Structure 1
Amino acid sequence: MNTWSDIAAIQPMASQIITNSIIKDRISHAYLLQGARGTGKEDIAILIAKVLFCENKSGANPCLACNACKRIDSGNHPDVHWIEPDGQSIKIEQIKNLQKEFTYSGLESDQKVYIIKGADTLTANAANRILKFLEEPSKKTTAIMLTENSQSILPTIRSRCQIIDLKPLNPLHFQQKLIDAGLNDATAKLMSALTNNLDEAIKWSQDEWFAGARKLMVQLVEAFTDNVSDVYLFIHNHWMQHFNERKQMEQGLDLLLLAFKDILYYHIDHEDALVIFAPDERLEKLAMYYSQDKLISILQDLLEAKQKLKQNVHPTLVMEQVTLQIKR
């Protein structure tokens, strides 16, 4: 997305708020962009940076052709700094290094921009450290913080930022984009339930690892009803072998969430929402085995398992615990 018109197509309110600020020369010293993956956080951050550095902007839009715009696109602008989680979190050492940059003048102008991805992963010490900048803003320094989970950010940080809420994308619109890109209807529906990122969805749809992950997920769901005594063997001999990285495990839990949601949707005659199973005898059998109350409990257990992964609990322990909970 290269212009505010592109942003407005998916985030009209955010586009209007920011472009009004640009036109009135009232760009905030700190923004907090909060929204799910794929809702345009990074695109908005990059556009704000381009506006601040562009040599030939027209109204609220950067020219996209000048040296500054091109360097921001390539990630090589010396006065635009990106901070990303180091592992599971943004650590105090990263913020200390960033603060050193605060003391220097911009290499090519007095303007500086700092974009902090995954701002909700700031450790407590790092979060307190970043407050120094937010409490004593420089007129020529702009911070842009990106998060999927704003409630995990310190209230003192939130209160010092202009908060921009990004709305979830229209799933039907996204599904159509996937179909236009060559995915069949069923795959487009599944991918739109897993991600809002077009490139990511297309990549997963062509990935043999993902096809294997989906197959294992179905086998595990059926094992809970057909071979419950062998579930732990399946987890250790097959599941953990395939989902051997933390992000892969998160994808596995996401697939399980969708599968158990399908069973619940079948219970309540909401078959148009199915994304994993077809409304056939297999799904009918699963619905007979699980009550609605049990399914709601399982969905809660899976969500808690995802949270434990984010809290750095060992993936094998997380999977063993949620397996035990589902078996009860």
Structure 2
Amino acid sequence: MTRTWEQLEQTQPIVLKMLRNSLKKERLAHAYLFEGMKGTGKREISLVLTKSILCKNSIEGYVPCETCSNCKRINNGNHPDVHLLEPDGLSIKKHQIQSLQEEFSKTGVESKQKIYILVHADKMTTNAANSLLKFLEEPNAETTAILLTEQIQQILPTILSRCQVLSFTPLSPNEMAKELVRNGIKPNEAPLLAQITNNFDEALTLSTDEWFVQARKIVVKLYEALKGAPLEALVALQRDWFTQFKDKDQFDRGLDLLLLLYKDLLYIQLGKHDQIVYVNERDRLEVYALKTSNRRLTEQMTAIFEAKRKLQGNMNPQLLMEQLVLELQEGSSVV
């Protein structure tokens, strides 16, 4: 489903504000470089900008109507004056840029305006980049170039200098969760993935990572063991935690998962049920939240933060976890 200007403005307000001002003042750059992480809306915003330029009935001079023939054909990918160029295999090759230049040397089919969108512009071969550079050095007043990249450091400085660079910020956890759902992640799994990383690619990878799936289960089991007899949690550490979390990075991720679980308990106590990320454990967490206090949860979360700090200070991870478990258990009843 195509998102509207207003919807995209929720995810990238600064980028849309800059484009809105340029459109209203009719001062569009001849070349843009949209740079930022995957999943931040670069491609969608390149298409909404294209519609804004070619729309026959734009609202207030910048919002595409989405109903005219130009908007509909751009949405369907078949407007004759809009060209989308993607890597041919692993790279964008010289012949692709040359074909584009030949196409743009002709008059626009329906208007003077022509727009090309270069996806993964960082994947141009050196020859392709040099061909594009010549294209950018002699801009046609009716031509707009939009380059998209997740790797701005791979773009030639000479190309960068000829583009207006718009940086797309990482998504907020809430927007990240929505984007993950749009990419096929189950709605009850997306919130946790969005909180554990702000990198869209990493979130997608974790969603199918069996280690991560198991890690989540072990964190929940450890919390349940903390509610039991004093030795139960130490047994759970030996039996489950130390076999799953082996290096420092894995320990750190485990502590992040544990922290998110305690945050969920706090959110439940504060009545913010819509913010919990362990969605599948909601019923059990609601019961657990009744059996502790707001102050105690804050102390336990502080203990986890301190453990993360000690871990980065090269404290023995096994000893660190044993100490943390004792701190999390101590006075765990209602205060």
- 1:92–1:123 CA contact under 8 A, matched in 2: yes
TM-score, structure 2 normalization: 0.61
Q: Distance in 1 between matches of 2:52 and 2:106?
A: 22
Task: Provide closer, same or farther for how the CA distance between residues 263 and 101 of structure 1 changes in structure 2, counting only shifts above 3 A.
Answer: same
Match of 2:192 among 173, 184, 189: 189
Residue-pair matches, total: 238
Equivalent residue, structure 2, for 1:214: 210
Equivalent residue, structure 2, for 1:264: 252
Equivalent residue, structure 2, for 1:170: 172
Q: Distance in 2 between matches of 1:179 and 1:2?
A: 14
Aligned 1:20-31 pairs, distance under 5 A: 20-31=21-32
- 1:179–1:188 CA contact under 8 A, matched in 2: no
Equivalent residue, structure 1, for 2:281: none
- 1:2–1:64 CA contact under 8 A, matched in 2: no
Q: Aligned residues: percent identity?
A: 43
Equivalent residue, structure 2, for 1:226: none
Which has more radius of gyration? 2
Equivalent residue, structure 1, for 2:72: 70
Q: What letter corresponds to residue 183 of structure 1 in structure 2?
A: P
- 1:56–1:66 CA contact under 8 A, matched in 2: yes
- 1:14–1:165 CA contact under 8 A, matched in 2: yes
Equivalent residue, structure 1, for 2:7: 6
- 2:74–2:82 CA contact under 8 A, matched in 1: yes
Q: Distance in 1 between matches of 2:250 and 2:16?
A: 35
Q: Distance in 2 between matches of 1:177 and 1:45?
A: 17
**How far apart are residue 260 of structure 1 and its match?**
6.2
Equivalent residue, structure 2, for 1:152: 154
- 2:70–2:79 CA contact under 8 A, matched in 1: yes
Q: Within the alignment, does 1:58 sit opposite 2:55 as a pair?
A: no
**How far apart are residue 148 of structure 1 and its match?**
0.5
Gaps of 5+ in 1: 220-258, 276-286, 295-328
Task: Provide closer, same or farther for how the CA distance between residues 218 and 194 of structure 1 changes in structure 2, counting only shifts above 3 A.
Answer: farther
Q: Distance in 2 between matches of 1:179 and 1:44?
A: 19
**How far apart are residue 266 of structure 1 and its match?**
5.0
Q: Distance in 2 between matches of 1:66 and 1:172?
A: 32
Task: Provide closer, same or farther for how the CA distance between residues 177 and 21 of structure 1 changes in structure 2, counting only shifts above 3 A.
Answer: closer
Gaps of 5+ in 2: 216-246, 262-276, 278-306, 315-335
- 2:55–2:71 CA contact under 8 A, matched in 1: yes
Equivalent residue, structure 2, for 1:248: none
Show structure 1 runs of 4+ deviating over 6 A: 176-181, 216-219
**How far apart are residue 87 of structure 1 and its match?**
1.6
Q: Within the alignment, does 1:137 sit opposite 2:148 as a pair?
A: no
Q: What letter corresponds to residue 127 of structure 1 in structure 2?
A: A
**How far apart are residue 15 of structure 1 and its match?**
0.7
Q: Distance in 1 between matches of 2:98 and 2:124?
A: 13
Q: Deviations over 1:88-112 (max 9, x none)?
A: 1111111111111121111111110
Q: What letter corresponds to residue 28 of structure 2 in structure 1?
A: I
Give the superposed CA RMSD: 4.0
Q: Deviations over 1:37-95 (max 9, x none)?
A: 11110111101111111111112111110111100000000110011011211111111
Q: Distance in 1 between matches of 2:248 and 2:99?
A: 45
**How far apart are residue 175 of structure 1 and its match?**
3.2
- 1:265–1:273 CA contact under 8 A, matched in 2: no
- 2:176–2:198 CA contact under 8 A, matched in 1: no
